[in-house]
Structure 1
Amino acid sequence: MAEHSAGILLYRGSGDGLRLLLVHPGGPFWARKDEGAWSIPKGIVEPGEDPLTAARREFAEETGQAAPVGKAIDLGRVRLRSGKYVTGFALEGDLDPAALRSNTFSMIWPPRSGTVATFPEIDRAEWFDVEAAVRKVNPAQVELIEALLSIVDAAR
């Protein structure tokens, strides 16, 4: 079975002022990648775990801040090129990107050096307008942004 992750697309504002929070993966593989590399904060759904519970946990682990309290909007599920599935939820709220405190991972770096280096799972977060977010986010996750837009537009 394909790996399943869940995450939260944090948003604030409305209309032309709508802003979306995306995070950039840390580590040497992602250091020079930008467009198409960003993501919603997300992580693995454990067997038997509720996807929203996993999304809230992963948001806290990756940003260092609890996900906002409130009714989450189910944005559906997308499939990444890797085959992994991501279930997305949207929450309205705010987060100061300068306050980002991500969990870390370790790996041998540089390759074959025998040296273990530690990197943040997420090296930065940023608020983007919709047009920029669509360019920055992993292409498969554009569907999650589109789902949020259709819900926000319908609510007007």
Structure 2
Amino acid sequence: MRTEATERAELVFSLFDANGNGVLDSEDFDLMTGRVLEVAVASDDGAREAIRAAFRRYWTTLATELDANGDGVISVDEFRPFVLDPERFGPTITEFAEALSALGDPDGDGLIERPLFVSLMRAIGFAEANIHALFDAFGPDVEDRITVTTWARGIEDYYAPDMGGIPADQLVAVRAV
């Protein structure tokens, strides 16, 4: 497992700990879903329901796979190796990647404009400078857009244990704000 992958997993854990109690629980995923939907005002009901379902599946998968003692919480030590295991967590990430990237394309043209991308990523909790660095690393077109497929693939790469030097690494790089 690459160091970059571990850093990405730890960052996403800290962001998904939306209530700040140091562990992941179902409340975190409810809070995160609400924050993301709050900025996705132009998305249709199908896209909004898809992201709700993806966040729900994310939590359910974690709770089912990792909460062996039934206390309803997941620690970072439990989280890290699991989310970086494509065999066990890959389908959940694929659903999440497709739902989030589709939410960024409310007009259905297959393209995501920077402002909405930034809003969605900020709602998740990523730092704005890092968000812009990621968008730039995706290679936007002359109208400052990326494809839905590019973003979905970038989300999947974020969770890949054997990948480094990828656009997603921009999210963990320390940047001046």
Q: Structure 1 length normalisation: TM-score?
A: 0.30
More strand by share: 1
TM-score (norm 2): 0.28
